[in-house]
Amino acid sequence: MHPTQRGVEMPPPTGWYPEPRDKFQFAFLPMIDCFARICYNTPKGVFTVIYIGCHLSVTNGCLAMGETMLGFGGDTFAFFTRNPRGGKSREIDPADAAALSALLAREGFGPLVAHGSYTMNLCAANPATLQNGLEMFADDMKRMAYFPGQYYNFHPGAHVGQGAEKGIELISAALDRFLTPDLPFTVLLETMAGKGSEVGGSFAQLRQVIDGVAHSEKLGVCLDTCHVWDAGYDIVNDLDGVLTEFDKTVGLSRLKAVHLNDSKNDLGSHKDRHEKLGQGRIGADALRRAVRHPALQGLPFVLETPNDDAGYIEEIVLVKEWMAEA
Ligand SMILES: [Zn+2]
Ligand SMILES: [Zn+2]
């Protein structure tokens, strides 16, 4: 059985509000896809199932990342727009970025998921830290102009004792400054583990941030499997229930990408320590179900597991096996 026929074996749960994408993709596209694979022997069919890749270093430039991911067998990837721990980053070479865009189109890659710096805090209590975060965000918006159609994902922030309401207000206000109708890419809020005073540890908080932004059509969400598990969403025993809650609170149409990670810790631990696929508390079965879930098809899945290149290649192969299973 072709992997995209999974809709047959796993019908959407009751109370589901299917997006047009789901309806179309799970009824009609799999048939075309299967037909194309049989008749034309295309490697992935006409329509990919999910896109899979991992986090890559930008050290050797843009095109080099695309070539590396081709070698890894993936069809999406993530990269830091700048030094993840802060500091200056080198300028992006427009010709190099254009060469990457050509590779992505030629090879049928899914959207890339660029990642903002960990030190950027759009709701910091310290005025200098907040100003620094706003400057980093502004600079990232300029950098992302070289990656039209891709995603820019960032950690919403930590309110550091100001309270979640104040934090949410500050994040929305910051986004409101930068999200304009002509932005050529989409900004993604990452679901967080709720460690310390992190904002984004619940779907309701993400909804509140989105509601405070005028041009929220430029805003989406990246769901991190380790983070939501650590935040207390039981994706092991009730993935359908978690996604239904996401749909009711945020809306599945906002869900643009997935960070596919296992967790070193238990449900609701609020720790945020990633683990290799199948070696943590979420486990291979639950991650496999996420990869194959109807509501998550067509999205880029990015591995942020503690791996070297060989480990990432193994996990990309593993995820592709999950996708291909009957
Ligand atoms: Zn992240
Ligand atoms: Zn994390």
Could you give the domains of the chain? 1-9+18-47 (no CATH), 50-324 (3.20.20.150)
Each residue of 16-29: pLDDT tens digit? 333 434 444 445 55
Structure tokens at 30: 């799999």
pLDDT of residue 324: 87
DSSP state of 5: G
Q: What is the pTM of this model?
A: 0.86
- Which residue has 């590779």 as its token pair? 103
Dihedrals φ, ψ of 318, to 5°?
-60, -45
Q: Which of 298, 264, 268 is nearest to 281 (CA)?
A: 264
> Which ligand has the nearest atom to the CA of 156?
1
- For the chain, the first-to-last Cα distance in angstroms comes to 5
User: Measured at the alpha carbon of residue 247, what is the angle toward residues 193 and 150, in degrees to the nearest 5?
Assistant: 70
Residue from 164, 149, 91, 151 nearest 116 by CA = 151
CA atoms within 13 A on the CB side of 83: 6
Residues lying with their CB under 5 A of ligand 2, a single-atom ion:
272
- Alpha carbon distances (Å) from 130 to 51, 77, 164, 174: 35, 29, 16, 10
Q: Residues lining ligand 1 (ion), CB within 5 A? A: 190
- For tokens 């910091």, name the residue: 124
Q: How far apart are CA 301 and CA 291, in angstroms?
A: 8
Ligand closest to Cα of 195 equals 2
Between the alpha carbon of residue 57 and those of residues 81, 95, 100, the distances in Å are 10, 18, 14
Helix (H) or strand (E) holding 79: strand 78-80
- What is the residue-level pLDDT of the chain in tens, covering all 326 positions? 333 333 333 333 333 333 434 444 445 555 555 555 455 444 444 444 899 999 999 989 999 999 999 999 999 999 998 876 666 677 899 999 999 999 999 999 999 999 999 999 999 999 999 999 999 999 999 999 999 999 999 999 999 999 999 999 999 999 999 999 999 999 999 999 999 999 999 999 999 999 999 999 999 999 999 999 999 999 999 999 999 999 999 999 999 999 999 999 999 999 999 999 999 999 999 999 999 998 999 999 999 999 999 999 999 999 999 998 87
Residues 228 and 225: their CA atoms lie apart, in Å, by 5
Distance 306 CA to ligand 1 centre (A): 13
Region for residue 56 given its phi and psi (left: phi exceeds 0; alpha: psi -120 to 50; beta: otherwise): beta
Q: Which DSSP state fits 78?
A: E
Alpha helix stretches (DSSP H) within the chain: 6-9, 20-27, 29-40, 62-72, 94-107, 127-144, 164-178, 203-211, 225-231, 239-249, 283-291, 309-324
Question: 322 Cβ partners below 8 Å, 6+ apart?
Answer: 287, 288, 291, 292
Ligand 1 centroid, distance to 274 Cα (angstroms): 11
What does each C-alpha distance from 214 to 41, 242, 251, 270 come to in angstroms?
A: 46, 27, 17, 31
**Closest ligand to the CA of 258:** 1
Quote the ligand 1 centre to 39 CA distance (angstroms): 41
Ligand 1 geometric centre to CA of 155 (Å): 6
pLDDT at position 10: 38
Number of other residues whose CB lies within 10 A of the CB of residue 309: 12
